[in-house]
């Protein structure tokens, strides 16, 4: 095989490898973007004042955070949100029926 054929073959192989790596990188970037969309959707739910919506967000929280596409920085953000939500939940006293009935009785003359 002449030298020119070898050069053409090597250039062709390198081009195919380059295209394959580009497609792989783009696929990973697209998957990461989709993962971040899921994360933001989940975080919007977990920080909601609506209890049902917040519960849905927390139900989805673990599967979203277990994604291999999430970086260490994103995991830190998710941990910070979870910690903040936990402190918020602990700081606000739960409302019970007794508390609601008692305040209604106090309002009546």
- How confident is the chain (109 residues) per 10-residue block, as mean pLDDT? 87 94 92 86 83 87 83 84 79 64 53
The pLDDT, as a whole number, for residue 79 is: 84
Question: Which pair of structure tokens corresponds to residue 86?
Answer: 């936990």
Q: Are 39 and 70 in contact (CB under 8 A)?
A: yes
Question: Which pair of structure tokens corresponds to residue 76?
Answer: 């830190």
Q: Are 39 and 71 in contact (CB under 8 A)?
A: no
The pLDDT, as a whole number, for residue 101 is: 53
Neighbouring residues of 42: CB distance < 8 A, sequence distance ≥ 6: 57, 60, 61, 64
What's the N-to-C CA distance of the chain in angstroms?
A: 105
Q: pTM for this one?
A: 0.58
28 CB neighbour count, 10 Å cutoff: 11
């Amino acid at each position: 095989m002449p030298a020119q054929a070898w050069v053409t073959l090597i250039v062709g192989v390198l081009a195919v490898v380059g295209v394959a790596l580009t497609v792989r990188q783009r696929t990973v970037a697209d998957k990461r973007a989709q993962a971040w969309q899921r994360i933001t959707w989940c975080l919007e739910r977990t920080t909601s004042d609506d209890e049902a919506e917040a519960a849905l967000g927390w139900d989805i929280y673990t599967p979203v955070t277990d994604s291999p596409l999430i970086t260490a920085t994103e995991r830190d953000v998710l941990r910070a949100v979870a910690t903040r939500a936990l402190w918020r939940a602990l700081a606000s006293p739960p409302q019970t029926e007794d508390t609601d009935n008692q305040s209604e009785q106090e309002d009546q003359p």
